[in-house]
Amino acid sequence: MVLGRPWRRKNAHDDDPYWDFFINTPPADLVNSVPELIRGAPEGNIFPTKKELHTPEITSSHVKGMARYIGADLVGIATVSSKDAPADAPCPFAVVCAVRADYDPRTSPGVGGQVPVQNGLFVTFVLSAWIRELGFRATVAPAAHAERLAAAAGLGALDPGGRLVTREFGPRVHVADAILTDLPLAPDG
Amino acid sequence: MGDTVETVKPVNEADPEFPTPYLGRTVRIVGRGVNVDMNQSPHPKNQRGELGKALFNWYHNTVSRDPLTRVSAPNHFADRRNFIATVINQATQGKVNAKKVPVSDPAAMTRHIKAVARYMGADVVAIARAHPAFMYASTRYVQDGTAEDAYEDSTPEGLVRKFPFVIVATTAWDYDKLQAHRHHIGDAAYHVSQIKGHMVLKALEGYVKELGYTALRGVVTPQAAGVASGVGELGRNGLLINKTFGARIHMPDPILTDLPLVPDEPVDNGVEDFCKICRKCAINCPTNSITFGDKVVSNGVEKYKINWLTCYKLRPYVHDHWGSCLTCATVCPFTKPNVWWRSLAVWALRTCPIPARPLLVRALKAVDDRFWGVVSQKRVRWLDYDSGIKPGERACTVAGCTASHDEHGEAKHESKQMIGDIGYYVPLKENTNRFVKRDV
């Protein structure tokens, strides 16, 4: 097209000859990948003294504020059905965080394509650790269907393929693993 | 190869291979110095117990009362598995990709690596040309972590010949929360961006290796690389002052690499002229660790020298109330939100001819004192934190609550959780008199 639309922003990475490598070439050594590192990390202890809490509504606003501060773009709280929760540790709530993803991490295996996953893991690691330090159970649960929980928490809707579509970012969003917790929260949606 | 620390050659001005680097107007290499040995720096000294019992116990045997500090600060955790930097810094080193990505144009690669760092979440990124004087003497140093590599026996010169560039990438602290420094809110600004910086640098290191080039950590003095790459200039408070963020940036361990890049130059944003006049950090420092006087020559480098020992000694005394002091960074007139009037002021300072700058600095300083106060006092409320509560007082901890409270802090709303999270902004210099000898 000769006449480009002037308001259309030029893709900043068009003239970068290495950008495609960054987004699409999977790492040769997985030890170089930070998502792998965080995924493999063990879970810490729950702090023995429970912090005094406010009402579930206020605690929810604190959890969401903390998640946003750590780096989540969207955050919601859903009620967990009994089949998602581990039997030995009853966790009635799921905190679901989502981050913006310019490239779909499912189809972009490069270091850059996995940056949303990395950011999501960072948020869930620190947030779940923080909830444990508040004295409550919190487990990052890759097994739980995070996108379904995100839809239940009102972050967006699921498309026929089961992916989350949000008002803020459309389908360009990565839903991080859900955090299952017994912190008394007020679920959204 | 095989040279030990004792034989490391000091900076030699006559060395034709490594001429004395220009580091901007704030720092000048004037003589021979020895390379920094991180084993003699504050934290390692303290870890060995050389700074006394109080500090030793503060470092090793205290658990913070604040849950966020327990997951984000480099010590004082209850369980270190809840601290993400442990996971990141103690990880094993990945291999360098055998399939090298060819770099025909170093300028394009420089743009790429900067775009990559920003994409991963870095706020500031720049490239420095490495110099033997920037290298640590002795072993690798990563705080609360490990770094080992195949080049540990190399001399600084050998390292620089092999790896000529340093990638300096860092994160900035949140401005609004920093206003409640000497409080857990300020700690949150500092520590959360610090662990994020750890992650970004680890990811960047891994990516350089995936490109097929070596990336070494724990080798380069961050301040030196920061000044050389133009990330900032060294202020009176001993901190790097950045054009965009002022003093509110971390200086984490940079990456030494052989990736072909184009180095940046030191900058002049007028920090030299400002620090000569301002002294705001020296006035506000609770321990008087910042000099009111002129620059001194320390280890062959002419710069403002802070008294790190008195600065460090404050920590066990305040541990119950906050972790990181951050006063000198917060009160610095360069530390402002990144908005147009700030850009305008820095632009004016930068473009002003040097002889005319003192006048402009005095004007800007007057504006700063007028609007931000000679001693800044700002109440910040965030989540259930509130920096405006004096020790001993009880307060309502519901964020944004405007209900009236009786003398016991009881509000007329539902929540009865009134035990406040004690703010400790109040004790400025007065309360530190008992353990810091002051001469002004």
pLDDT tier, B15 (very low <50, low <70, confident <90, very high otherwise): confident
- Average pLDDT score over chain B: 84
More confidently predicted of B156 and B392? B156
Rounded to 5 degrees, what angle do the CA atoms B190, A93, A70 make? Answer: 15
Q: Say whether pLDDT at A9 is over 90.
A: no
User: Residue B392 — very low, low, confident or very high, per pLDDT cuts 50/70/90?
Assistant: very low
Q: Determine the residue of chain A that is closest to B116 in CA distance.
A: A112
Is residue B214 within 8 Å of B257, Cβ to Cβ? yes
B32 CB-near residues (< 8 Å, 6+ apart): B10, B11, B12, B300
Which among B119, B205, B383 is the nearest to A112, CB-wise?
B119
Taking the CA of residue A28 as centre, how many other CA atoms within 13 Å lie in the half-sphere pointing to its CB?
16
Highest-scoring range by mean pLDDT, A91-95, A130-134, B325-329, B407-411? A130-134
In 3D, which of B314, B289, B309, B224 has the Cα closest to residue B33? B224
Chain pair A-B, CB pairs under 8 angstroms? 151
Chain B residue closest to A69 (CA)? B192
Coil vs helix vs strand at A58:
helix
Q: What does the DSSP assignment read for A4-22?
A: --TTSPPPTTTT-TTHHHH
Rounded to whole angstroms, how far apart are CA atoms B70 and B68? 5
Q: Estimate the crossing angle of helix B106-120 against helix A115-133, to 10 degrees.
A: 30
> pLDDT, tens digit, for every residue of B323-353?
888 999 999 999 999 899 999 999 999 999 9
Does the structure show a pLDDT above 80 at B438? no
Tell me which residues of chain A, numbers 105 to 164, contact chain B at a CB-CB cutoff of 8 Å.
111-112, 115, 118-119, 122, 125-126, 129-130, 132-134
Flag the least confident range among A50-54, B275-279, B314-318, B412-416. B412-416
* Interval A99-115 mean pLDDT: 93
Nearest by CB to residue A28, choosing from B67, B91, B210, is: B210
The C-alpha of A138 sits at a distance from chain B's nearest C-alpha, in angstroms, of 11
What was the pLDDT predicted at B27? 94
Burial category of A3 from C-beta neighbours within 10 Å (exposed 0-12, middle 13-18, buried 19 and up): exposed
Which pLDDT band holds residue A3 (cuts at 50, 70, 90)? low
Out of B93, B199, B383, the one facing A34 most closely (by C-beta) is B199
Q: Which of residues 208-267 of B touch A (CB under 8 A)?
A: 209-211
The whole-number average pLDDT for the span B363-389 is 83
The burial class, CB within 10 Å (0-12 / 13-18 / 19+), for A32 is buried
More confident: B2 or B385: B385
User: Would you state the pLDDT for residue A28?
Assistant: 93
Question: Is residue A121 predicted with pLDDT exceeding 70?
Answer: yes
Give the percent of chain B with pLDDT over 90: 56
- A122-136, B32-46, B60-74, B143-157: the lowest-pLDDT one: B143-157
- Cross-chain CB nearest to B71 (options A112, A118, A129): A129
Nearest chain A residue (CA) to B206:
A32
B61 interfaces chain A, CB cutoff of 8 Å: no
Q: State pLDDT tens for residues B76-134.
A: 899 989 999 988 988 888 899 999 999 999 999 999 999 999 999 999 999 999 999 99
Ranges A81-85, B16-20, B306-310, B408-412, most confident: B306-310
pLDDT the model gives residue B425: 43
pTM for this structure? 0.89
Residue A129: helix, strand or coil by DSSP? helix
Residues on chain A touching B205 (C-beta within 8 angstroms):
32
How far apart (Å, rounded) are the C-alpha atoms in residues B125 and B203? 14
> How many CB atoms neighbour CB B410 within 10 A?
14
Q: How far apart are the first and last CA of chain B?
A: 50
Q: Which residue of A has its CA nearest to B98?
A: A28
pLDDT band at B415 (very low <50, low <70, confident <90, very high): very low
Nearest CA distance, A66 vs chain B (angstrom): 8
